[in-house]
Amino acid sequence: MSRPLNPRYTFPEFIVGRSNEAAYTAASAAAVAPGRLYNPILITGGTGLGKTHLAHAVTAESVIRPGRRAELVTADDFLRLLSQGVAAGDPTAALGAMREADLLVIDDVHVLDRHGAAQDALASLAAHAVATEHQLLLTSDDASGSDMLAKRLVGHFRSAHVATLGAPDWAHRVAILHAKAKTLGIVLPPSVAHHLAAQCEGSVRELEGSITRLQAVAALDGSSLSLALARRALPTKQRAGALSSGAQAVQEAVAAEWGVSPAALVGEGRTRALAEPRRIGMLLCRDLLALSIREIGAAFGDRDSSTVLSALERARSDLARDSAMADRVARLRELLAVTAPSPR
């Protein structure tokens, strides 16, 4: 009955960041000590953010442990089995294997929202799991608010836990891209990773798909992976807007380091307390994100190209003569979790 496991969907292959750390921790706890810490567990999130990955990972981790039985089914599987049981006159028997599992994972339970009998059966399974210390883990799509069934169900149990998968931030997206490239056996230049991370602000699936598309174009053209190829191969959907999240991450990090607000950093103020971090922010956007001069100007309050060029020149000069400032900028590069490409 249990679904075949995807060998790529394991815990080591799951790239952890701020947006998914809570869900990863909960799933790991379910695999290591089912029914002991959180029960039931509900993992919610939009499409392509890793719900199914975690569902497979927790099952895979459980089945390798001696004497432990784990079952992974989708909500559609659940409905089909329940329907077969009803037709045979014994719906409870159809779900017997699920009740006996040490770990039961049901993926996409939002599908059950409009099926009253299925909701009752799921509630019965949850009560049984909690009473017998068998682990129940559910995943649900919350993109349209259709996960009310799962939230109501989990809300009945004191030991229940809800963890949400959010969209990865810019630094997390860069890490995901490098991990995907590694599995494909390719070396992804930092400038290409930064470009793709800025272009793809949505799901992990979209990020991974961008590398696949880029690799296909490179193979057809006989080209190496480069920033120029990435810009040509992937649609520049409102490029200034798409790149804004990367620039925003840089601005927030610089503002925090210098003790100013991000809004002031891109504002009209020209005091030294603002001008210095603004120049550093522009430099990091140039080096880490490979933004054009015009894009940097747009990200920093629509400043003109001559202002940006002057700021970049001054920032490089300051770093060359001020070792303390150079150390601060080095820390920022580490904080942003990237390795800067060579300045263009």
Ranges of the chain with pLDDT below 70: 1, 142-151, 235-245, 337-344
Please, which residues have CB within 8 angstroms of residue 67's CB and are 6 or more apart in sequence? none
The reported pLDDT for the residue numbered 338 is: 45
The reported pLDDT for the residue numbered 27 is: 96
The reported pLDDT for the residue numbered 343 is: 37
Say whether 2 sits in a helix, a strand or coil.
Answer: coil
In what order do the strands lie in the sheet containing 70-74? 70-74, 103-107, 135-141, 41-45, 161-165
Residue 187: CB atoms within 10 Å: 11
Domains, the chain? 21-165 (3.40.50.300), 168-237 (1.10.8.60), 240-344 (1.10.1750.10)
The reported pLDDT for the residue numbered 289 is: 79
Find the helix or strand (DSSP H, E) in which 37 lies. none
* Long-range Cβ contacts of 324-330 (<8 Å, 24+ apart): 325/280, 328/257, 329/280, 329/283, 329/284
* E-assigned strand segments in 166-265: none
- The one-letter code for the residue type at 194 is H
The reported pLDDT for the residue numbered 282 is: 95
Q: Which two tokens stand for residue 186?
A: 């390719």
CA distance 26 to 21: 9
User: In terms of C-beta density within 10 A (0-12 exposed, 13-18 middle, 19 or more buried), how is residue 8 classed?
Assistant: exposed
CA distance 239 to 285: 14
The reported pLDDT for the residue numbered 26 is: 95
Q: Which two tokens stand for residue 42?
A: 């509900």
Is the distance from CB of 277 to CB of 258 less than 8 angstroms? yes
Is the distance from CB of 49 to CB of 37 less than 8 angstroms? no
CA distance 238 to 56: 36
The reported pLDDT for the residue numbered 340 is: 38
Look at residues 31, 92, 110 and name the one whose alpha carbon lies nearest to residue 64.
31
Look at residues 325, 343, 318 and name the one whose alpha carbon lies nearest to residue 257.
325
Residue 220: CB atoms within 10 Å: 9
Cα angle 174, 178, 180 (rounded to 5 degrees) comes to: 115
Match 């891209």 to its residue by tokens. 177
